[in-house]
């Protein structure tokens, strides 16, 4: 034993025809989105950007 944790690679079952049809339908219906779109949506929903203001005691120059 080397003391390094390791996991064996799992082998999954073959994909069924219905699973492949579902994936194809989802690909057609759902729009492709980039990482910036996901960040913008998360910011809109949660308001996390308010935490990124100036440091305490440092006012922005006007």
* In the chain, where the domains are located: 17-52
The enclosing H or E element of 26 equals helix 17-29
7-33 pLDDT, tens digit each: 899 999 999 999 999 999 999 999 888
pTM of the shown model: 0.43
Using H for helix, E for strand and C for coil, what is the string for the chain? CCCCCCCCCCCCCCCCHHHHHHHHHHHHHCCCCCHHHHHHHHHHHHCHHHHHCCCCCCCCCC
Percent of the chain with pLDDT over 90: 47
37-53 pLDDT, tens digit each: 999 999 999 988 777 77
């Amino acid at each position: 034993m080397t003391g390094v944790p390791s996991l064996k690679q799992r082998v999954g079952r073959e994909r069924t025809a219905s699973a492949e049809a579902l994936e194809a339908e989802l690909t057609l219906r759902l729009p492709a989105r980039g990482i910036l779109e996901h960040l913008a949506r998360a910011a809109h929903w949660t308001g996390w950007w308010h935490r990124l203001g100036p440091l305490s005691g440092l006012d922005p120059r006007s």
